[in-house]
Amino acid sequence: MSGSSSLASGQSPSERAAALAADKPLILVAAVALFDRDERILLAQRPPGKSLAGYWEFPGGKIEPGETPEAALVRELEEELGVEACLECFQPFSFASHAYPDFHLLMPLFLCRRWDGVPQPREGQVLKWVRIKDLRSYKVPPADLPLVAMLEDYA
């Protein structure tokens, strides 16, 4: 029987979801899979001292109040990588919704094949161009795992 565990706890599914969400702030982050001419994706390794240090992730960052996800990516790509992308260059692809111990992450993932400049690590991160078929050999944050699977299906 579907839903019997919620009923057994005495809470409706919406009550249980609200209780789980009440303790954690919602963090909005935008990320992008930058594709080069060889159809490789740029990954950045989180530097020592940051949460999830050593994990590989898609470039991007927090969405500031009043900022669109695309505008956040334009800003973050300039800050993190020294590249310039236009708002129209981002193709919405998918999103991740993941509960970490201290917060809930909501992260749209965009695809981008056009930008100006050569990506350079500006924040102590290591950069690597990776083929989609090789993405699973890199340790990515838990929220990124479903996105890796979707990119594999996309390829």
User: How far is residue 111's CA from residue 114's CA, in Å, rounded to a whole number?
Assistant: 10
Q: What is the pLDDT along the chain (155 residues), one digit of tens a residue?
A: 445 444 556 777 766 555 555 679 999 999 999 999 999 999 999 999 888 999 999 999 999 999 999 999 999 999 999 999 998 999 999 999 999 999 999 999 999 999 999 999 999 899 999 999 999 999 999 999 999 999 999 87
Q: Is the dihedral of CA 139, 130, 86, 94 positive or negative?
A: negative
pTM for this predicted structure: 0.85
